[in-house]
Amino acid sequence: MIADDLIGWLVDELQDWDCLSDYILEYSAALLMNLCLRTKGKRKCAENAKHVLKVLTDLLGHENHEIRPYVNGALYSILCIPSVRQEANEMSIEEILRCYNKEENPDLNRQIEFIIKQLNSG
């Protein structure tokens, strides 16, 4: 799936999330996260890091909060790649994440903190 660029296709589909049902959105985000857990998946995301990071951070603001753990998982996973971290820093991803860290869900806040630590890791 990774070799056939499913990640690129998923990211493009998730970019236009207005057209997706909640069901498709949730399962697409979950699939993307699972593909990002693989080394080849992380490398694939690194090829177009800016686009992937933009789509994932946009999804953090989606009204369907069921997708947040998947989005957070994908972000955490791909940020272990130095080039992705560099792109994320250039895009001020930490500021975006801090905006979402003010919600009243302690689990999601903890996930955001872990992502920020990954972002700032050396």
Domain boundaries, the chain: 6-119
In the structure encoding, which two tokens stand for residue 60, read together?
């953090």
Which of 85, 64, 61 lies closest to 75 in space, CA to CA? 85
Distance between CA atoms of residues 24 and 28, nearest Å: 6
For the chain, which ranges sit under pLDDT 50?
A: none
Q: What is the pLDDT of residues 68-82, one digit of tens each?
A: 999 999 999 999 999
Q: What is the pTM of this model?
A: 0.93
Q: Does domain 6-119 correspond to CATH entry 1.25.10.10?
A: yes
Contact 115, 68 (CB under 8 A): no
